[in-house]
Amino acid sequence: EPGRRVVERAWARPLAEHLAADAAHVWHPYTRAARSSRVWSVASAKGVRLSFESGEEVIDGMSSWWAAIHGYNHEALNAAAREQL
């Protein structure tokens, strides 16, 4: 399954490599276009809460404006995504 292989290769990459690629190629909404903002490494997400690698936790009050209107790590959406991989 090609999709599964892509996901497995992505999981095998070191976190620092993902963060570097993010910093080089992704503009995050509500940040300045000139890249000097910190990139937060999310360890887990559930509902409206994001837990960072640092141990800090925040409520994501902006996600419903974009792609996470149903919250993060939603079981029905996870199942639908798994079926498509």
pLDDT tens-digit profile of 28-79? Answer: 777 776 766 677 788 999 988 999 999 999 988 776 666 677 788 889 989 9
Distances (CA, A) of 40 to 14, 18, 43, 79: 15, 11, 9, 26
The pTM is what? 0.55
Contact 48/71 with Cβ under 8 angstroms? yes
Determine the Cα–Cα distance for residues 80 and 60; give it in Å rounded to an integer. 23
